[in-house]
């Protein structure tokens, strides 16, 4: 059986359109974009998901990769994928932001380690919370929710519709502020308790200046911070699950 040139091009367009959106999502999405996630595995996973999705897609006749309109459509596919992945990445950004605030309050801002998600140096407390967040994200099937979100996005923004608007980008920026506010709320119990402890040390210093509070206060602050982190951990995991769920829902809401 011989394939015509038109048939080959039609199959290429049918596959390339979903591949662009899915692979763009995996470039920035949590877990998939981690330095430890093999690039070849990322490409193969994108190809597999695109091959499964492509038969149910309808490619408009105007979708031509070699035309100006086709280029615009391809850029939109990439933009949609990046926005979906970035929405979930914001949740991990909130974790790092809140954990860094806790580290500075505890006096552990100088203790740095490499973040396995982004490959950059973050405080050890932030690394701990990123690892916990990653395990929780996998346990609630967040990686599957990401793939499901990018597949469902075709019902909101079909291939070649050119329907993405400036309001979607505005909603993404607003979502960032909401998620990072959630990061502060995650750190608030520890920060509040340590603030009260530091206030007590300040009062002791004023009443008994001869005491070397700095030598005692520094280790006490660290130990108290770790103890409070342990106490609030169940509530932290619940709040983190809610943040993941909220970000997952908003990954499609921003296009409406």
- Residue pair 21/152 in contact (Cβ under 8 Å)? The answer is no
Question: Which H or E run includes 71?
Answer: helix 68-106
| Geometric angle at alpha carbon 100, from 178 and 136, rounded to 5° | 65
Residue 139, number of CB atoms within 10 A of its CB:
10
Instruction: Report pTM.
Output: 0.78
| pLDDT value at residue 1 | 46
Query: What b/e string do you get for 31-58 counting C-beta neighbours within 10 Å, with b at 16 or more?
Result: bbbbeeeeeeebeebbeebbeebbeeee
Q: How far apart are CA 39 and CA 215, in angstroms?
A: 48
Alpha helices in 107-253 (DSSP H): 124-139, 142-156, 166-207, 213-253
Regions in the chain scoring below 70 on pLDDT: 1-11, 13, 59-66, 109-122, 160, 162-163
- How many alpha carbons lie under 13 Å from residue 53 in its C-beta half-sphere? 27
Region for 34 from its dihedrals, namely left if φ exceeds 0, alpha if ψ lies in -120 to 50, beta otherwise: beta
Question: pLDDT tens-digit profile of 32-66?
Answer: 887 777 888 888 888 888 888 877 777 666 666 66
- Residue pair 91/247 in contact (Cβ under 8 Å)? The answer is yes
Give the residue from 172, 179, 92, 83 showing the smallest Cα distance to 131: 92
Residue-range domain boundaries for the chain:
5-253
Question: pLDDT tens-digit profile of 158-180?
Answer: 776 766 777 777 777 777 777 77
Give the residue from 245, 87, 86, 83 showing the smallest Cα distance to 157: 83
| pLDDT value at residue 250 | 80
To which residue do tokens 């469902």 refer?
Answer: 152
Q: How far apart are CA 123 and CA 121, in angstroms?
A: 7
- Residue pair 169/222 in contact (Cβ under 8 Å)? The answer is no
- Residue pair 103/46 in contact (Cβ under 8 Å)? The answer is no
């Amino acid at each position: 059986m011989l394939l015509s040139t038109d048939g080959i091009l039609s199959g290429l367009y049918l596959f390339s359109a979903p591949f662009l959106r899915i692979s763009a999502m995996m470039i920035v999405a949590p877990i998939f974009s981690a330095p430890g996630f093999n690039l070849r595995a990322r490409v193969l996973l994108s190809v597999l998901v695109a091959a499964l999705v492509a038969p149910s897609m309808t490619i408009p006749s105007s979708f031509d990769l070699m035309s100006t309109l086709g280029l615009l459509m391809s850029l939109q596919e990439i933009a949609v994928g990046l926005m979906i992945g970035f929405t979930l990445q914001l949740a991990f950004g909130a974790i790092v932001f809140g954990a860094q605030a806790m580290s500075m309050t505890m006096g552990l801002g100088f203790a740095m380690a490499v973040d396995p998600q982004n490959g950059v140096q973050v405080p050890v407390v932030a690394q701990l919370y990123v690892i916990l967040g990653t395990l929780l994200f996998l346990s609630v099937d967040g990686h599957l929710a990401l793939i499901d979100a990018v597949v469902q996005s075709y019902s909101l923004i079909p291939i070649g519709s050119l329907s993405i608007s400036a309001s979607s980008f505005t909603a993404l920026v607003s979502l960032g502020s909401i998620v990072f506010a959630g990061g502060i709320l995650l750190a608030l119990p520890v920060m509040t308790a340590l603030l009260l402890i530091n206030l007590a040390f300040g009062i002791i210093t004023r009443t008994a200046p001869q005491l070397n509070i700095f030598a005692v206060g520094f280790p006490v602050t660290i130990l108290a911070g770790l103890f409070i982190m342990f106490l609030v951990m169940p509530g932290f995991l619940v709040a983190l699950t809610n943040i993941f769920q909220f970000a997952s829902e908003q990954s499609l809401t921003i296009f409406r």
